[in-house]
Structure 1
């Protein structure tokens, strides 16, 4: 049986050229945010959900308009993404955006690409309290103990390997657990280092044109 390809594509640092959460924190620079990032990335002492939640709680909800405007205006889409979306549609490849990012910038930045909202998975947000609160509509299932916040492995497991050819595209620690599950990994930045640590095969990329060329070559082979 020919399996349908399904792609799980990260957003921050993958679809966009920069990490939007880090860019927000650097711009508004609330005291303590760098320590939180260090505890996540260097010490690996806290989960992604803890880190993201703690960082945004450093920002008052009164900054909502400024935070949203900065996040959307500062982001740049990686070269080739529009063509990549079209390539997936033409070749009947299911494209899911699996993002640890936040709804207030993920949805607006993806709006021009006509990706169905049901195929976009990200965290939500509330500006109702004194500080910005991140909400978690896609938490880990019973098979994941990583406390991801937006659990990519839970989504991947809903597409079983006996029915789908599963492909992950990502750049960071938030993609690492998913990279262990899928058949093919396209990696850049920190995800390359993490794959090398475990001797996990991957295809490096810098633009989505690179991924299109590789997928075409694989299909022809």
Structure 2
């Protein structure tokens, strides 16, 4: 019996054209945010530490400004609706696995037919003086990268004997997951990693390209 296809799709810079966390920081310019981004990219600090410290720079008194900016700043990458329709038609399981935050991911994805239990992301708490990020999907005992939202933990729940696991992503939060799956659709920084490790990947700029390749994979 052939394996069932399952897709793990990043949000920031993948479903969306822009990286929303970086866009928020660039817009509100809290002191020290840019150094934290550089430290995450260079792996001087973990993703969890970097993202947590970035949002801790923003006071909760600006909650509505931050939320409104994050939601209205989003541009969805071309072909996303068509990809979801294709997955439904072909019974391909589709999960959003994102290092982004619930306060912008859930409102944006509410416009699409994705069950909430198929969306994995970080959570937020606005009760204190500054924004606190919470980590409901932290690394399991097999991952020691302090991911925050650990994509490999989720991917490992789906056996390669039963599932053909496909990742769609673009950047550092996708690096570890890309090493586990059978096929990667990559753009931006993730292409360099896939080249370096000789992973099975296909570059993309929109979801129409991915749909075409998925059709070829099933032919």
- What band does the TM-score fall into relative to the shorter chain? over 0.9
Matching of residue 170 in structure 1 with residue 177 in structure 2: no
Q: Structure 1: which 4+ aligned runs deviate by more than 2 Å?
A: none
- Hey, what does 2:148 align to over in structure 1? 149
Task: Give the Cα–Cα distance (whole angstroms) in 2 for the partners of residues 143 and 124 of structure 1.
Answer: 22
- Alpha-carbon offset, residue 67 of structure 1: 0.2
Contact kept? 2:169, 2:187, Cα under 8 Å: yes
Q: Which residue of 1 aligns with 2:62?
A: 63
Tell me, yes or no, if the aligned pair for 1:173 and 1:194 is still in contact at 8 Å. no
- In the other structure, the counterpart of 1:11 is 11
String of CA shifts for 1:62-104, please: whole Å, max 9, x gaps. 1100000000000100000001011001100000000000000
How far has the Cα of 1:199 moved from its partner? 2.3
Task: Give CA-to-partner distance per residue, 1:122-155, whole Å, 9 cap, x none.
Answer: 0000000000000000000000001000000000
Give the TM-score, by structure 2 length.
0.99
Question: Structure 2: how far apart are the matches of 1:218 and 1:162?
Answer: 17
- Equivalent residue, structure 2, for 1:217: 216
**Alignment partner, residue 74 of structure 2:** 75
Q: Give a deviation string over 1:44-63, Cα, whole Å, max 9, x none.
A: 11110001000000000011
Partner of 1:192: 191
Matched residue, 2:46: 47
Q: How many residues align?
A: 219
TM-score, normalised with respect to structure 1: 0.98
Q: Does 1:102 align with 2:101?
A: yes
Q: Once the 2 structures are TM-superposed, how far is the Cα of residue 193 of structure 1 from its aligned partner?
A: 1.1
> Alpha-carbon deviation of 1:114?
1.4
Please, what is the CA RMSD of the aligned residues?
Answer: 0.6
Write the distance in 2 (CA, Å) between the matches of 1:34 and 1:112: 31
| Partner of residue 208, structure 1 | 207
SS at match of 2:100: strand
Q: Secondary structure at the match of 2:124?
A: strand
* Alignment gaps of 5+ in structure 2: none
Matches within 5 A, 1:94-133: 94-133=93-132
